[in-house]
Amino acid sequence: MSIMFKTALGLSVLTIAPAAQAATYLIGPVTATASGNMGSPASTVLTGALGAGARITGIRYAMTMTASGDSYLSDLAILFGNSEDYLVRFTPARDRLEGGTVDLTGTADLVDMGLDFFLLGDGVFRLEFIDTYNAGADPARGAWTDTMFEVTYDAAMAGVPEPSSWALMILGFGALGGRMRRRGRTRVAFTA
């Protein structure tokens, strides 16, 4: 195959391949409460639309957490996921077996941790604040104030080519057809 043919074919394939675009989604500042595990009516749930098929890759956070009553700071957690299921459980003060208030900041690279996940076709990103100790019957004992998240994700790009991509594909397929047509002819030399 000639260099021109390979280049045209390669460019036509590249234009139809879906690509990913890195992006961030900012949440906050938020004030949230928690009373009980997932689905408790006293727990705060937040959602955002990031796009169908987006891959959640990391989280940066800054928060003030308060555990009161019988709840410990280690009982307070945040669930991250898509519209159907929570796929990551984040317990920022997991070693704090006490009540009170604490300020926390940090990052979590979900890819390195093997916890990255994809959103469904509706593109909804969801998080819920929970208190794993409190059964939900009591008033909320977990509280977050001045809480901010920066969610990093790869937005899935649509697989439908733009008009300029169509033109490049047609050029590539035209070069392919021309090359095949030229190859089909054989030249025979007649001698007398």
Per residue in 134-173, pLDDT (tens digit) is 766 667 788 999 999 999 999 875 455 566 666 766 776 6
Mean pLDDT across the chain: 81
Q: Please give the C-alpha separations between residue 46 and each of 43, 50, 96, 98, 183, in angstroms, as whole numbers.
A: 10, 13, 25, 27, 62
**29-71: pLDDT as tens digits:** 999 988 888 888 878 999 999 999 999 999 999 999 999 888 8
Query: Under DSSP, is residue 106 helix (H, G, I), strand (E, B) or coil?
Result: strand
Residue 55 Cα to chain centre, angstroms = 3
Cα distance between residue 62 and residue 41, in whole Å? 25
Most confident of 21-35, 82-96, 134-148: 82-96
Query: Under DSSP, is residue 109 helix (H, G, I), strand (E, B) or coil?
Result: strand
